[in-house]
Amino acid sequence: MLRSLKISRLVALALVIIAGSGCGKSIPQTTHPKGTEPLVSPSHTPSIPEHEPTVAEDEGEDLVEPSEVDAYEGWAIYVNEEHGFSFHFPDTWKIMEYEGEPFISLKQGDLEFIIGVKHRSEDTNIFISRTESLEQMSEAIFLGQVVPRMVWIQDTRVLAVRYGEPVGTLEGGEIEADNLVFTLSLWEFGEDWPNTANISTDVQFEVDQIVSSFELNE
């Protein structure tokens, strides 16, 4: 009986050895057409960041708002205390006041931007010079109002620009603001100016900026 037990053990051991001999065979590897390989190998475990991402918390600090751009930085300012208004202008223009006259002007060579002003109760003429024709060319902002830009054109040359609804072709227009009445006009007065004047678009744009800088003083 002891002999039979030994034989049985030997047979079992032999079967284990035979079965295990198949483990040494190579296992076919899965191949992928070129360009279709998986981005992450099945055996690859993605690394975990050492520090978890955090969400920024509001710590109650004051936010700094972007500073407003000063469109008139470096410009001078004119203040009219009698009528209570002011405006900005580049230092390339010279301010002119006329004693006893209801006009202020800015001059640059032959160019002249003329401002007429009076109180509503005054019976004073604040129109300057005359235009033979006027046509609207865009608009401008004056004391919070959108006002038309009326242009005198002759042979494609711009001889003058008036602001506001025209009272008439010759005089141009008036603009009312609070208890004041204004006339605004741009000219190029030179020798034989009706035949030579031609106000450039750059000058017109700059004067539009001056017009938009007007403020009523408290």
Exposure of 84 in the CB half-sphere (CA atoms within 13 A): 9
Secondary structure in 3-state letters for the chain: CHHHHHHHHHHHHHHHHHHHHHHHCCCCCCCCCCCCCCCCCCCCCCCCCCCCCCCCCCCCCCCCCCCCCCCCCCCEEEEECCCCEEEEECCCCEEEECCCCCEEEEEECCEEEEEEEEECCCCCCCCCCCCCCCEEEEEEEECCEEEEEEEEEECCEEEEEEECCEEECCCEECEEECCEEEEEEEEECCCCHHHHCCCCHHHHHHHHHHHHCCEECC
Give the pLDDT confidence of 93-120 residue by residue, as tens digits.
999 998 889 999 999 999 999 999 999 9
Count the domains in the chain.
1
Angle 104-110-112 from CA coordinates, rounded to 5° = 25
Residue 123 lies in a domain: yes
Residue 114 lies in a domain: yes
Give the pLDDT confidence of 26-64 residue by residue, as tens digits.
333 333 333 333 333 333 333 333 434 333 344 444 444
Residue 136 lies in a domain: yes
Residue 95 lies in a domain: no
Q: Tell me what the mean pLDDT of segment 89-96 comes to.
A: 96
Q: What is the pLDDT of residue 68?
A: 56
Q: Residue 118's domain spans which residues? A: 102-187
Residue 146 lies in a domain: yes
- pTM greater than the 0.85 cutoff: no
Q: What is the pLDDT of residue 129?
A: 79
Give the pLDDT confidence of 178-198 residue by residue, as tens digits.
999 999 999 999 889 989 999
More confident residue, 24 or 69: 69
Residue 17 lies in a domain: no
Secondary structure in 3-state letters for 153-164: EECCEEEEEEEC
Is pLDDT above 60 for 147?
Answer: yes
**Confidence grade of residue 69 (pLDDT, cut at 50, 70, 90):** low
Residue 151 lies in a domain: yes
Place of tokens 């002891």: 2
Residue 21 lies in a domain: no
